[in-house]
Structure 1
Amino acid sequence: MKPFHWESTHGNFGDDLNLWLWDFLLPGLRDVHEETLLVGVGTVLNTLILPLEGRKLVIGSGFGYGSLPDMRDRNEWDIRCVRGPLTAEKVGVPQDMGIVDPAVMVTEMPEFKNLPKTKRRTFVPHWESAAAGIWPEICKTVGLSYLDPRGEAKAVIREIATSELIVAESMHGAILADAFRVPWIAVSTSRAINSFKWNDWARSLGVTYAPKLIPVSTRAEAIAKGARFWGVGFERDEQAVEEQEKRRQGETMVLTDPEQTRLRVMAKQALAVPSALGLWQASKAKPQLSADATLANRKQRLWDVLEGVRRDYL
């Protein structure tokens, strides 16, 4: 059995943790049932992402984009649980099968236990914001640590676990923060954000998704998201994100364009002042955290599901 991994061109720790999480939760799974694909963490219940052929075992996946596959044939689809009640309703299974996002189980891995806390207050943007914005520079001006969600998954998770507060545009930034009992604040740089997946997870744990809206930081980011920048509206251009990926490496902008003078950089920073103000104000909002008992209950129910999978497959 092979865990499904949506390998995005940009990298995203919430997807990449599928590469190793399931080996901890279901050791030995790769040695059995080669015909079955384990569909786990991520908003991947989508006809454009999942392969059409082959049997699939679903543990905690979510819907949120594109078209839902026809999952009625139980010989082809073994659905043990999904991310939350909204996905359960879409799929057509009982709501109590919408347990929680399996990423919360990362906290059970020995290497992530008893990590020392720091004083960091950390911003985790959506990957599109990381690609097209100037958020590392903005974070420096508002006293936040910047964490790129496209980084190596375990390194990103450790940064979340050891922070004292997470300001999250990345959904899995909030999911992992909540799992590690780090208070979190949801933000968004686009009114067009897909809130279905956020609400799906939030309702599984009894928290509320009510993001603080922050202006985009650059014209390129506005183009990538179809947002407004300084009163000008832009049509979404997904190619713009790919172009920005080529121009940014980690937290350092690669200034290959001869027109990117120091004056131009200063102008971009000045235009990002509303973004900095919005992020600073959002970081002062009251953070959230699910109830300890609720999280423990959901994790236990997921352990019970995993025990059933071990019994039937291993």
Structure 2
Amino acid sequence: MKLYFYRGVRPNFGDELNWWMWPKIFGNVFDESQESLFLGIGSILFSSHPQAPRKIVFGSGYGGYTALPVIDDKWDIRFVRGRMTAKALGIDPSRGVGDSAILLRSVVNYTGQVKRYKFSYMPHWESAEIGLWKDACQVAGINYIDPCAEVDFVLDEILASEVVITEAMHGAIVSDALRVPWIAAQPIHSQHRAKWEDWASALDLKIKWQSIQPSSLLEAVIAKLGQRGSLSSKLQYHGKPLNAIRHDAFVIRTAQQLQKVAAVEPQLSSDSAIRNSHETMLLEVEKLKADYPELVASA
């Protein structure tokens, strides 16, 4: 069974959680076999998956980046990220249980961590690639969490923070699951916003968005053009010299905005909501093991 997840130009925390977490839950059972695909964490319900393999959906979401997949008897949907995904797929809303990164509660010791940072900020990995967020955080006196760093490091940085301000959705999902209060920085690129609402719907959570402007000229230009245009794509990979223009002005403005956002009251889903979601997922883990003996292995 092949563990399927998205990998962009650089590895990023949310997607890399798949290879980090699933072997801790199911053991060393994943290989490169194309007979079955295991779709876990991420907006990976695409229209482009091959038809032949069985596709086991275990907490994935539909992000609107492609057309909807055509659901047939090759799809085994156990649960999805939220009610918006369930509605898009035409399945029972009760299967919108939550993002499966919530299962980190079973494999991470999240109590008693020493807090080293009052506030941390994690940008979306694409923002980290083209922006000046590390510089802005340094000016603001806020710890910077690189969304492309190793999973163990990012988890430790989240747990060491009193509050996580995050543009990266899995910065919020993981913080929430591990009971670290968080503040949602509205993604600069609008196509990344709906999936947050999808996850939140499973926890009866209303996101209190905070707006932070682009941290560099390059980031501002790409945001204005729209991320998926051909010109913006070229700029993303060849426009780094733009960041030397008005560097200080962008960094100082962004640092000031980060400080203002840090004064906002952070959020958490209710203890009962996160507990119910987690317990439902654990039941689904046992059901899946019963239905697929190849998913039963010693860790």
How does the TM-score come out when normalised to structure 1?
0.85
Which residue number in structure 2 is paired with residue 216 of structure 1?
A: 214
- Does residue 298 of structure 2 align to residue 303 of structure 1? no
Which residue number in structure 2 is paired with residue 313 of structure 1?
A: 292
| 2:266 aligned residue (282, 287, 312) | 287
Which residue number in structure 1 is paired with residue 296 of structure 2?
A: none
Higher relative contact order (CA 8 A, sep 6+): 2
The unaligned stretches of length 5 or more in structure 2 are 294-299
Find the aligned partners of 2:203 and 2:187 in 1 and give their Cα distance.
24
Cα distance change, pair 215–21 in 1 and its aligned pair in 2 (3 A): same
Shift of 1:226: 2.5
The unaligned stretches of length 5 or more in structure 1 are 229-233, 248-256
Which residue number in structure 2 is paired with residue 54 of structure 1?
A: 53
Cα distance change, pair 147–51 in 1 and its aligned pair in 2 (3 A): farther
Find the aligned partners of 1:144 and 1:236 in 2 and give their Cα distance.
33
After superposing the two structures, state which structure 1 stretch, 116-125 or 24-33, moved more: 24-33
- Does residue 18 of structure 2 align to residue 23 of structure 1? no
Shift of 1:119: 3.1
| 1:239 aligned residue (222, 234, 239) | 234
Q: Match for 1:307: what amino acid? A: E
Count of aligned pairs between the two proteins: 290
After superposing the two structures, state which structure 1 stretch, 273-282 or 91-100, moved more: 273-282
Shift of 1:89: 0.6
Find the aligned partners of 1:51 and 1:113 in 2 and give their Cα distance.
42
Identity %: 33
SS at structure 1 position matched to 2:190: coil
Which residue number in structure 2 is paired with residue 116 of structure 1?
A: 114
Which residue number in structure 1 is paired with residue 171 of structure 2?
A: 173
Question: Pairwise mapping of residues 73-222 of structure 1 onto structure 2 (< 5 A)?
Answer: 73-74=72-73, 76-110=74-108, 114-188=112-186, 190=188, 192-222=190-220
SS at structure 2 position matched to 1:123: strand
Which residue number in structure 2 is paired with residue 276 of structure 1?
A: 255
Find the aligned partners of 1:212 and 1:21 in 2 and give their Cα distance.
30
Contact 2:225–2:232 (CA under 8 A) maintained in structure 1: no
Q: Match for 2:252: what amino acid? A: V
1:96-123 superposed Cα distances (whole Å, 9 cap, x missing partner): 1000111111232156665433234100
Shift of 1:269: 1.2
RMSD: 2.5
Cα distance change, pair 33–139 in 1 and its aligned pair in 2 (3 A): closer
SS at structure 2 position matched to 1:136: helix
Q: Match for 2:236: what amino acid? A: V
Find the aligned partners of 2:81 and 2:249 in 1 and give their Cα distance.
41
How does the TM-score come out when normalised to structure 2?
0.89
Shift of 1:34: 5.9
Which residue number in structure 2 is paired with residue 13 of structure 1?
A: 13
Cα distance change, pair 214–235 in 1 and its aligned pair in 2 (3 A): farther
